[in-house]
Amino acid sequence: MPFRAFCYHSLTCRDAAFRYSHYIVAGAIRSLHCRPEQDRTEFTQMDCSSLSIYSFMEFATDLSCNEISRTKSNKKDILESFWLFRFRERAYEMFMHGYHSYMTYAFPADELMPLSCRGRVRGVTPSRGDVDDSLGNFSLTLIDTLDTLVVVGALDEFDRAVKLVVDTIRLDSDLIVSVFETNIRVLGGLLSGHLLAELVRAKDPTRLQWYNDRQLLKMAEDIGNRLLPAFNTSSGLPYSRINLRYGMLDHLKRQKDTCTACGGTMLLEMAALSRLTGNGVYEEKARKAMDFLWAQRHRTSDLMGTVLNVHSGDWVRRESGIGAGIDSYYEYCLKAYILLGDKSFLERFDRHYEAVMRYVNKGPLFVDVHMHRPTVATRSFMDALLAFWPGLQVLKGDVRRAVEMHEMLFQVVRKHKFLPEAFTHDFQVHWGEHPIRPEFIESTYFLFRATKDPHYLEVAKQVCVELLCMNCGRVSVKNSIFLFLRQMDSFVLSETFKYLFMIFAEPSDLPFDPDNYVLTTEAHFLPLSIGAQSEDIPRRLFIRPDDVSDSSDTTYEYANPFGADQEPTEADEAMRIRERTQNILEKLFDIQRQQEPHSGQCFKPLVLQPQ
Q: Kindly list the catalytic residues.
A: 181, 327, 421, 439
The rounded distance, in Å, linking the Cα atoms of 28 and 30 is 7
Angle at 402 between CA 401 and CA 403, to 5 degrees: 90
SS3 (DSSP) at 4: coil
The rounded distance, in Å, linking the Cα atoms of 86 and 92 is 10
The rounded distance, in Å, linking the Cα atoms of 531 and 518 is 11
Alpha helices in 553-595 (DSSP H): 571-588
Q: What are the DSSP calls for 393-424, one per residue?
A: HHHHT-HHHHHHHHHHHHHHHHHHSS--SEEE
The rounded distance, in Å, linking the Cα atoms of 322 and 306 is 10
| Cα dihedral 189, 190, 195, 200 in deg (nearest 10) | 90
Question: What is the DSSP-derived secondary structure letter of residue 280?
Answer: T
The rounded distance, in Å, linking the Cα atoms of 219 and 166 is 8
Nearest partner of 223 among 245, 198, 238, 239, judged by Cα: 245
Residue pair 234/285 in contact (Cβ under 8 Å)? The answer is no
The rounded distance, in Å, linking the Cα atoms of 227 and 446 is 32
Q: What are the DSSP calls for 428-465, one per residue?
A: -EEE--B---SHHHHHHHHHHHHH--THHHHHHHHHHH
Alpha helices in 237-280 (DSSP H): 250-253, 260-264, 267-277
- What Rg value do the Cα atoms of the chain yield, rounded? 24
Cβ count within 10 A of residue 68 = 13
Residue pair 105/117 in contact (Cβ under 8 Å)? The answer is yes
Q: Is 168 annotated as a binding residue?
A: no
> Taking the chain, what is the end-to-end CA distance rounded to the nearest angstrom?
48
Residue pair 297/354 in contact (Cβ under 8 Å)? The answer is no
Q: Residues forming the annotated binding site for Ca(2+)?
A: 521
Q: Detail the residues annotated as belonging to a binding site.
A: 521
